[in-house]
Structure 1
Amino acid sequence: MTDWTDPETFARALERVETVENGNYFEDFAAGEVIEHDPGLTLTRWGNEAWMSQTLNHDPAYWRSDAAEARDFDEPPIHPDYLTAATLGSTVEDLSETGGYFLGRTDVRFPQDAVYPGTELAVESEVVDTATSRSRPEFGIVSWRTRGRDADTDEVLCSYERTNMIPRREPVATDDGERSGADASRTDGGAGAAEDDEGSGLPETFVTPDGGYFEDFQAALEAAEAENGAVAYRHERGRTQDAVTVAQLPLATLNTAKQHHNVDAMADSPSGDIVTYGDVTRSTALGHARSDEETYREVGFDDESFHTFVTPGDTVYAFTRVLETGAADGAAGTVRFEHVAFDQDDEPLYSGTRTAKIRTRD
């Protein structure tokens, strides 16, 4: 009788058997294809609070009934950061579990004014485009338009367009050209050429708002314009990445990518370790930013990029630049920001533009 659990015998068996792989390769995607993701998940108050607490998003409207009612919510709703992460997490098994760099995301929108606990999330993705990577013959580039819907009403709750590098089954010849477009994103951890201060194009003056209300951002922009400066500042809080943020949070959103939980598989990868889910890095930076503002509603996000790896022990900080303000409707006014997450070595990790309604002082 063969003892299959004998270490030597078992090791020889492992060498001979094939591995049943999960996920899809670049060749499996075709423009126009629509993929229904299964199983989806139910958005719970527990999941929402776990995500928000660990990424330091402590807006009371998402925690307490009285604060929610004061913000015109029926009850504490699901936060858009958690909704975005849960929508993307549900797609990983079908779209990006085979690996590859998360190049960016844009046109992140929330068509509904509020989404409440108990909502069952159904997610679908349409393949927007496929392209050959000019610098990496073992990868292709795929873009998807993803929509998270209410499974009962079919209403769209969250939508965005995402671009990833996806492994090929067989490498192809490339022209070894310069990296451009999405393929130029520094998701491989490479450092760009540092510019000296004189050539950086930075303004001479930086203005920090006096507070977190709409009028404070408006006044800061006016002051910066008068001084030919910019409204830009960093946030004090930092969040060091641990087992909860690196592994537990993505797995709770059904994000099965081995990059976040399989130390063995990642030992020989460019990062050398498991890495933080991009939406954890993003939400943490946004949480730092929101702690210094009076957020009323999230409107949307654009031009999101992830620049390098975040591994256990790294600390995520945040930097904000105020780009412009729009009209105020009494309760709140629209402000457009640029946010940058950076680590303990001051290296950018994430960047994106955000549009939010910020409360007025009245």
Structure 2
Amino acid sequence: MTKSNPGNYFEDFKPGMELVHATPLTLTTGDISLYRALTGDRHALYSAATFAVSNGFDQLPIDPLLAFHAVFGKTVPDISLNAVANLGYADGKFLKTVNPGDTLTAISDVIGVKENSNGKTGVVWVRTRGENQHGEIVLSYVRWVMVNKKNASNPAPEAVIPDLPKVVAAEDLVAPAYKTWDPALAGSNWRFGDYEVGEKIDHVDGMTVEEAEHQTATRLYQNTAKVHFDAHAQKDSRFGKRLIYGGVVISIARSLSFNGLESAAQMLAINAGTHAGPLFAGDTIYAWSEVLDTAELNETTGALRLRLVAAKNHPCSDFPLRGEDGKYHPDVLLDFDYWVAIPK
């Protein structure tokens, strides 16, 4: 009997199963600096303690996406070590500010399973929650993953497919009440009322991702997925090389969106997300956004529901998304639907 962890296969997952994931992680200001170095994030709220405190925070907070990746990374050894691909996200909520010094743990509940028609893989749905050292839930989300079967001859389980909301309701958003938002320091005069539903924004800038960068980012989150690290094993994969973690794409695209959404700093919820295509070292990420909806939150703050699209080696002045066949454009990497707070 081996003492090492081979990871769970599709047959190992049962609806109702709870997985308590190993290795709590204390996030620090060092993590903030490294995350900024790897993503290029420029939002004032996550760059300057003085700016954050003047807008109601106790100190310089952890970017919600950094907390998300840290929690996600905890889940990989139990959920996606034997995964073919991470397929999507839904019903993600950022419920409490994470500060430097907070320690995050992750717990997942299996909420659905369905074997694929090829009999070799299946899809597993899990709801994961991240808790701080006080047992408070700071974030939760659903993701679904295609996982290899250990033995193709094993019988298919009864299919259980969860009913998930298409969007997190605006009334469920945990919203800030910004106090003294300084547009000069934030980098833009554009506020809640300046954005219209249907508006598209080309974020103009591109960022090339190198091998060492994406590996460092994924290690920062303690994500152990083989496809991101083991070049020797990946020589025999369908791509023949390491695949960049999709969370790297999310964070870099989000950082690129600063140019045009400078004051839309604080992510409040993840409505949906699809990793539409693979990214490899040496590729360049570009991004564009579409305003899908708006919501009034309180006297000082509103919310924008945004679609963030990332493409590789394809500037986004033509807003690539889908071809005439309805399938994603071959250069599209990410289709990400989220709520973000913005001052009025």
* TM-score class, shorter: 0.7 to 0.9
Match for residue 100 of structure 1 among 84, 87, 95: 84
Give the letter for the 2:108 counterpart: S
Give the letter for the 2:44 counterpart: P
Please name the residue that 1:270 is paired with. Answer: 238
Match for residue 191 of structure 2 among 187, 194, 213: 213
- The yes-or-no answer on 1:138 pairing with 2:120 is yes
- The yes-or-no answer on 1:339 pairing with 2:308 is yes
Equivalent residues of 2:63, 2:266 under 8 A apart: no
Please name the residue that 2:108 is paired with. Answer: 125
DSSP-derived class of the 2:61 partner: coil
Distance 2:75 2:95 in 1: 20
Equivalences for 1:1-362 in 2 at 5 Å? 22-112=6-96, 114-134=97-117, 136-151=118-133, 153-172=134-153, 212-217=190-195, 220-221=196-197, 230-293=198-261, 294-327=263-296, 329-345=298-314, 347-360=331-344
Deviations 1:199-233 (A, max 9, x none): xxxxxxxxxxx96321210xx44xxxxxxxx3112
The count of aligned residue pairs is: 298
For the aligned residue pairs, the C-alpha RMSD in angstroms reads 2.3
Distance 1:328 1:34 in 2: 34
Aligned-pair CA distance for 1:138 = 1.6
User: Unpaired runs of 5+ in structure 1?
Assistant: 1-17, 176-180, 183-209, 222-229
Equivalent residues of 1:101, 1:165 under 8 A apart: yes
Equivalent residues of 2:43, 2:265 under 8 A apart: no
Distance 2:13 2:79 in 1: 9
Distance 1:269 1:170 in 2: 19
Equivalent residues of 1:100, 1:165 under 8 A apart: yes
Equivalent residues of 1:245, 1:280 under 8 A apart: no
Equivalent residues of 2:279, 2:333 under 8 A apart: yes
Distance 1:19 1:275, change over 3 A: farther
Distance 1:275 1:253 in 2: 16
Equivalent residues of 1:296, 1:332 under 8 A apart: no
Instruction: Return the TM-score normalized by structure 2.
Output: 0.81
Give the letter for the 2:63 counterpart: H
Deviations 1:61-111 (A, max 9, x none): 222221111221111001001001000001101111123111001111111
Equivalent residues of 2:45, 2:265 under 8 A apart: no
Aligned-pair CA distance for 1:272 = 1.7
DSSP-derived class of the 1:255 partner: coil
Rg larger in structure: 1
Deviations 1:259-291 (A, max 9, x none): 111111111212221111111101111111133
User: Unpaired runs of 5+ in structure 2?
Assistant: 163-187, 315-319, 321-330
Aligned-pair CA distance for 1:19 = 11
Equivalent residues of 2:201, 2:260 under 8 A apart: no
Instruction: Return the TM-score normalized by structure 1.
Output: 0.77
Distance 1:168 1:288 in 2: 38
After superposing the two structures, state which structure 1 stretch, 319-328 or 252-261, moved more.
Answer: 319-328
Distance 1:125 1:328, change over 3 A: closer
Deviations 1:46-68 (A, max 9, x none): 11221233112111222222111
Deviations 1:139-176 (A, max 9, x none): 1110100001012x10001110010000101125999x
Runs of 4 or more consecutive aligned structure 1 residues displaced over 4 Å after TM superposition: 18-21, 172-175
DSSP-derived class of the 2:77 partner: helix
Aligned-pair CA distance for 1:40 = 2.2
DSSP-derived class of the 2:84 partner: coil
